[in-house]
């Protein structure tokens, strides 16, 4: 059976606030923990009104602190913005606080526009070099204490906080190059199908070329997918209109919060394309529980993936919660956990962080 996890982009709904979106992330993590999901990753995006999480490490700690079963991590830390040592220190601290539960997902993309990426630089005398392989090697050197003894940074690895506990590093990507690096370094690999639906060949090459490492004997592959589930196919398609409008405007260079369904429906009524034809370049699994289960299973088989991370964008937080609940039911996840959770929190399973009815 394929494992299921959550990739949370902390969507900001029109008419709501970023602060509420962050509280909704805590609420969703509590629900995912109760429902039996395996992993909960938070994404990094900068300078967009649609997504609230600019610093995954600011959410990982609070989420890990209030959950019990989930592996919690970044999906991902955009390494070009940061010092490898600082990332190693932060995530080994998490590992020490939450042993056996912390993932360090690493990405190369800026997660924003070029001007914001430049603003994130500490040294602005020139553009930052494209040296991701060197950054990644340095970071792994700290984590695995394999920096050469004569290197001036060698002593830093042993001084990382949280040792002997360690985060599990993953490489994230949506292009052939990320798969090549993951295979060469013997890292687990998470492919972003919701960005590039043509990743099955990249996944095959990763598995074929995988080199055994000191921490991973065989390739481990996951795929992140855009999914919305509701009681009926028609209702799921209606809920998906908000994300479709968001994606359409993003490709036009317009940044907005997640629009309401009504706004999205009016928007598409004025377009020459129907709403389900505006995101042909990207894939989404949308429908009732049986439809979504079949779609997730087919996607995992296409990639040869052991795990699927689900990213869900809806205007209404309650609809997003319900989507994850229906998927968990469709796959038979965590029945005992869910019963205990509702016994403690009530049928609505409202956390103290955020109302389930929050927009």
Q: Is residue 136 one of the residues assigned to a domain?
A: yes
Q: Is residue 352 one of the residues assigned to a domain?
A: no
CA–CA distance, 224 with 9 (Å, rounded to integer): 12
Tell me the pLDDT of the chain (359 aa) as tens digits: 899 999 999 999 999 999 999 999 999 999 999 999 999 999 999 999 999 999 999 999 999 999 999 999 999 999 999 999 999 999 999 999 999 999 999 999 887 888 888 888 888 888 888 899 999 999 999 999 999 999 999 999 999 999 999 999 999 999 999 999 999 999 999 999 999 999 999 999 999 999 999 899 999 999 999 999 999 999 999 999 999 999 999 989 999 999 999 999 999 999 865 555 444 457 899 999 999 999 999 999 999 999 999 999 999 999 999 999 999 999 999 754 555 555 555 544 434 444 443 45
* Alpha helices per DSSP H over the chain: 18-35, 56-66, 84-97, 114-120, 132-144, 154-158, 176-185, 200-209, 233-239, 241-251, 261-269, 289-303, 317-331, 335-345
Count how many domains the chain has.
1
Residue 123 has a pLDDT of: 83
Q: Is residue 358 one of the residues assigned to a domain?
A: no
CA–CA distance, 329 with 64 (Å, rounded to integer): 23
Q: Is residue 75 one of the residues assigned to a domain?
A: yes
Q: Is residue 167 one of the residues assigned to a domain?
A: yes
Q: What is the CATH number of the domain that holds 167?
A: 3.20.20.30
CA–CA distance, 141 with 201 (Å, rounded to integer): 30
Is residue 77 a contact partner of residue 57, using CB atoms and an 8 Å limit? yes
Q: Is residue 283 one of the residues assigned to a domain?
A: yes
Residue 315 has a pLDDT of: 98
Domain that holds residue 170: 3-119+129-345
Q: Is residue 208 one of the residues assigned to a domain?
A: yes
Backbone conformation region of residue 62, classed left if phi is above 0, alpha if psi is from -120 to 50, else beta = alpha
Read off the tokens for 80: 């070009």
Burial (Cβ within 10 Å: 0-12, 13-18, ≥19) of residue 205: middle
Q: Is residue 226 one of the residues assigned to a domain?
A: yes
CA–CA distance, 216 with 331 (Å, rounded to integer): 28
């Amino acid at each position: 059976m394929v494992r299921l996890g959550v990739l949370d982009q902390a969507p900001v709904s029109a008419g709501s606030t970023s602060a509420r979106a962050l509280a909704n992330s805590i609420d969703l993590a509590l629900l995912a923990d109760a429902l039996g999901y395996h992993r909960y990753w938070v994404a990094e995006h900068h300078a967009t009104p649609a997504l609230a999480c600019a610093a995954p490490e600011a959410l990982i700690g609070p989420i890990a602190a209030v959950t019990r079963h989930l592996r919690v991590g970044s999906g991902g830390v955009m390494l070009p913005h940061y010092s490898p040592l600082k990332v190693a220190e932060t995530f080994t601290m998490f590992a020490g606080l939450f042993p056996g539960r912390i993932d360090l997902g690493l990405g190369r993309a800026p997660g924003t526009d070029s001007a914001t990426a430049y603003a994130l630089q500490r040294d602005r005398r020139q553009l930052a070099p494209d040296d991701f392989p060197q950054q990644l090697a340095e970071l792994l050197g700290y984590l695995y204490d394999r920096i050469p003894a004569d290197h001036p940074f060698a002593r830093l690895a042993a001084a990382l906080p949280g040792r002997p506990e360690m985060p599990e590093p993953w490489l994230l990507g949506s292009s052939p190059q990320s798969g090549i690096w993951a295979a060469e370094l013997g890292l687990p690999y998470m492919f972003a199908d919701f960005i590039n639906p043509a990743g099955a060949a990249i996944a095959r090459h990763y598995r074929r070329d995988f080199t055994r490492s000191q921490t991973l004997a065989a390739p481990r592959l996951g795929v992140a997918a855009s999914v919305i589930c509701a009681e009926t196919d028609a209702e799921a398609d209606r809920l998906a209109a908000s994300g479709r409008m968001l994606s359409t405007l993003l490709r036009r260079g317009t940044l907005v919060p997640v629009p309401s369904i009504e706004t999205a429906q009016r928007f598409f009524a004025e377009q020459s394309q129907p709403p389900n034809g505006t995101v042909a370049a990207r894939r989404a699994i949308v429908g009732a529980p049986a439809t979504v289960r079949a779609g997730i299973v087919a996607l995992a088989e296409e990639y040869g993936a052991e795990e699927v991370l689900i990213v869900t964008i809806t205007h209404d937080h309650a609809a997003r919660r319900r989507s994850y609940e229906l998927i968990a039911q469709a796959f038979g996840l965590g029945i005992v956990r869910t019963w205990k959770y509702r016994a403690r929190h009530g049928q609505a399973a409202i956390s103290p962080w955020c109302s389930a009815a929050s927009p």
